[in-house]
Amino acid sequence: MTSARLARWAGLDVAVVLGCWAMSAVGPWWTFLLVAPVIGGRVHALGVLLHDACHGAERVVWLEALGGWPIGTTLDAMRAHHLRHHARTNLPNDPYLVPRKALGDARLFVLLLVIFPFWVFRSVLGTLSLVAPRLTPLYAQLLVSGEDDDASRRDVERARRTEWPVVVTWALLLTATALEPSLFARHWWLPLGWTALFNACRFLAEHSTTPAERGLESTTREHRSRWLAPFVFPHHVGYHRTHHAFPTASWESLPTLATTAPR
């Protein structure tokens, strides 16, 4: 059921991307500049749908192919990192809070703009660790901050075995770019830059740095702007406080839960 539900919305996101590419192909040369943020917003939206699947139990490979591999991540890698954030929101060992405290928002924002290449490097490392096990501790450091309990070891083992499609995807993208640099610069890498920008803005907007003991009302934020929703907060991901209160609820249900459900 989860896969079928997500497929409807992913299909719409992909249709918008294809429509933008078609417009750019038949329109004036500068059309790619206009459609780039729209494409970037839909790539971001596909990643948000993958985040929705991250909180379920299914392995939705087709959604990984659309919303994960092209930006450098997999469902297993996302679960390993993101579910720790939910379990430790704004605690000292929250994997989202640690770099924010260490770097500050401005420097973290700059680093988030290049998060996708970092994820690809992590994927390469995880894939290589399958044939060179001595690389596994370094991969674990990047994925789960080097935690070495039983749960972390299971997460690392599961994630590193599913990283190879990211490596293949990016190898194909880079090869295609070498063959058609102008085409891919205009229609993929520029939109991906917009995706990184939207992702960085969303990441910093979702939480404060308030200590966890103050509760979700203080540590998480809600964003309901209709203007920003298609780009920074697609698929109701701006209902972030509600999402933390009900992490397994579908994204479609978040607006209703925000107004009717007890916390």
Domain boundaries, the chain: 2-113+180-260
Per-residue confidence (pLDDT) for residue 263, from 0 to 100? 56
DSSP state, residue 235: G
Per-residue pLDDT at 63 exceeds 60: yes
Handedness of CA 195, 197, 198, 202 (dihedral sign): positive
Angstrom distance (rounded) from CA 193 to CA 254: 28
Per-residue confidence (pLDDT) for residue 3, from 0 to 100? 81
CA angle 2, 201, 68 (to 5 degrees): 35
Angstrom distance (rounded) from CA 178 to CA 125: 23
* Amino acid occupying residue 233: F
Kindly state the percentage of the chain with pLDDT values over 70: 98
| pLDDT tens, residue by residue, 124-183 | 999 999 999 999 999 999 999 989 999 999 999 999 999 999 999 999 999 999 999 999
CB atoms inside a 10 Å sphere around CB 210: 13
